[in-house]
Structure formats: C-alpha cells, structure tokens
C-alpha cells in the first residue's frame, strides 16, 4: 500500500512527516525488554509480507499485517512499520524516502487505532475474541485505504480517479487480512496469552 515518490503535494508530504515523527517517537518510548524483540520480529514479517505483490489492474495488492502489528505492539507498531518501509525504500525502491512519512501514517495510524480500540475484545475469549481479531485485521486495511484515498485526493483532482480504483481494488484484502490476523492471534493466545 505504498504511494510512490512524485505523486503527493508538498503540504500532504509535510503533514505525513509530522504525524509519522510523532507516532514513531511515542512508539519508541513504549519499547522495553521483550517488546523490543517482538517489534523487531513483526517489523521483519511486515517487510517480507509486503514484498509479495499481486498485480491487480493499474495497481498491485500485497499483505500488510498492520492489524496484527497493532494488536501485538500497540503504539510500537509505528516504529516497526517505519523501519520496514525504510528498508523497502532503500533496498527495493518501494515507496520512497520523500513519502516515507505519509506511508508510515497510512499503515501505522490505523494499526494503532485498531489495536488499542479493539483491545477489550482481544482480551476476551470465544466469539468476542474472534470478532475482535478479525476486525483488527480488516479495519486496519480499511483505515489505510481511507488514508491513501485522502492523501491522493488532497494532492490534486487528477488523482481522484486513481484513488477510487486503488480503493476498490484493495477491498478484498480486508477479508484476507482479517482472517490471517484471526488465525495468528488465536495461535498466539493459545501459546502465549500474555502477548495479546
């Protein structure tokens, strides 16, 4: 769900950089002990999953795992996503350095909001947990799609058509991410209940 360099307007890039800096800074303060290791592992999983692209019309779709990161890391999802995006920009030219802030916010903010907002359901068992885990994965993608759409539309009317195509092409990803997040969180809850 990367936006490439040269697409967004200056004000959108500046706003994204400011919000990303605040999110990464706050997330770094939350990292201690085992959380640091968990953040590194999930950042690596995010990096690897985002490299597998499936072409779909004028865009491509890939796993993001942001809902999973939000559920397991909370605010530390911001620095985890930031590091994954930096490595992708430097090693594979996905996204880019000028749009790093916007791309971090696009994936990090919905991850944190879903992880923190759905935490009461994730702490329960049975159907409530299953609903919370699925929604965490699915709504994180929906939030990212809404932010991509807003960033493209705010950068110019010419991008409005592409923003709509991008949005609809990625809706199926919501169900996939929701199911994957449910599967992984269920396994984590069985093996290490304190992590969820």
d(CA 45, CA 81): 10
- Give the residue from 146, 138, 180 showing the smallest Cα distance to 166: 146
Instruction: Provide the β-strand partners of residue 61.
Output: 54
Which domains does the chain possess? Answer: 10-187 (1.10.1760.20)
SS (HEC) of the chain: CCCCCCCCCHHHHHHHHHHHHHHHHHHHHCCCCHHHHHHHHHHHHHHHHCCCCEEECCEEECCCCHHHHHHHHHHHHHHHHHHHHHHHHHHHCCCCCCCHHHHHHHHHHHHHHHHHHCHHHHCCCCHHHHHHHHHHHHHHHHHHHHHHHHHHHHCCHHHHHHHHHHHHHCHHHHHHHHHHHHHHHHHHHHHCHHHC
Query: Once rounded to an integer, what is the mean pLDDT over residues 167-192?
Result: 87
d(CA 145, CA 183): 22
d(CA 135, CA 130): 8
Query: Once rounded to an integer, what is the mean pLDDT over residues 107-117?
Result: 95
Q: What is the pLDDT, as a whole number, of residue 5?
A: 83
* Whole-prediction pTM: 0.89
Lowest mean pLDDT among 54-58, 148-152, 155-159, 189-193: 54-58
Helices 100-117 and 77-92 pack at an angle, to 10 degrees, of 150
Residue pair 42/72 in contact by the 8 Å Cβ criterion:
yes
pLDDT in tens, 118-175: 999 999 989 999 999 999 999 999 999 889 888 888 887 666 666 667 677 777 788 8
Residue pair 35/76 in contact by the 8 Å Cβ criterion:
yes
């Amino acid at each position: 769900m990367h936006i490439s360099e040269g697409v967004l307007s200056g004000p959108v890039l500046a706003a994204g950089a400011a919000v990303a800096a605040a999110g990464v800074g706050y997330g770094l303060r939350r990292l201690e002990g085992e959380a640091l290791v968990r953040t590194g592992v999930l950042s690596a999983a995010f990096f690897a999953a985002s490299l597998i692209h499936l072409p779909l019309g004028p865009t491509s779709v890939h796993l993001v795992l942001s809902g999973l990161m939000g559920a397991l890391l909370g605010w530390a999802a911001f620095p985890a996503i930031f590091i994954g995006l930096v490595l992708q920009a430097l090693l594979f030219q996905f996204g880019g350095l000028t749009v790093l802030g916007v791309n971090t916010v696009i994936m990090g903010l919905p991850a944190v909001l879903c992880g923190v907002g759905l935490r009461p359901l994730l702490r329960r068992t049975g159907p409530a947990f299953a609903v919370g885990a699925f929604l965490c994965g699915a709504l994180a993608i929906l939030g990212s799609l809404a932010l991509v759409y807003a960033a493209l539309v705010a950068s110019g009317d010419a991008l409005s058509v592409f923003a709509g195509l991008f949005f609809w092409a990625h809706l199926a990803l919501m169900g996939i991410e929701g199911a994957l997040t449910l599967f992984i969180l269920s396994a984590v809850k069985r093996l290490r209940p304190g992590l969820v």
